[in-house]
Amino acid sequence: MAMPYTPEERHLVERTLARGERACPRCAGALELRDVLPRTEVAYVRDRVWLLCATCGASAVIDRRRIERAGKADPG
């Protein structure tokens, strides 16, 4: 099983996705995006995506708002 992304790698993924790219920060493999459906037993709703690298198997669940904020903060 692959190690989860480090906080630095997660931030890089957020910025990369905000630019419309889907590359793993660890191995440059293609990232697969899957919607995470909200759970009915949870009172609040979060809009999240599950990212899975097809090459190294690393994965993360990230809020879409973090990706949007990363895009606004990225000057390039």
pLDDT by residue (tens digit) across 18-73?
999 999 999 999 999 999 887 777 767 678 999 999 999 999 999 988 888 888 87
Spatial neighbors of 12 by CB under 8 A, at least 6 apart, are 25
- pTM (predicted TM-score): 0.77
Instruction: Indicate the domain borders of the chain.
Output: 7-73
What pLDDT is recorded for position 3?
81
What pLDDT is recorded for position 25?
94
Count CA within 13 A, CB hemisphere, residue 48.
13
Tell me the C-alpha distance between 26 and 12, whole Å. 10
What pLDDT is recorded for position 38?
77
Collapsed DSSP state (helix, strand, coil) of residue 59: strand
Collapsed DSSP state (helix, strand, coil) of residue 76: coil
What pLDDT is recorded for position 68?
86
Written as six digits, the tokens of 12 are: 């890089």
Tell me the C-alpha distance between 28 and 7, whole Å. 17
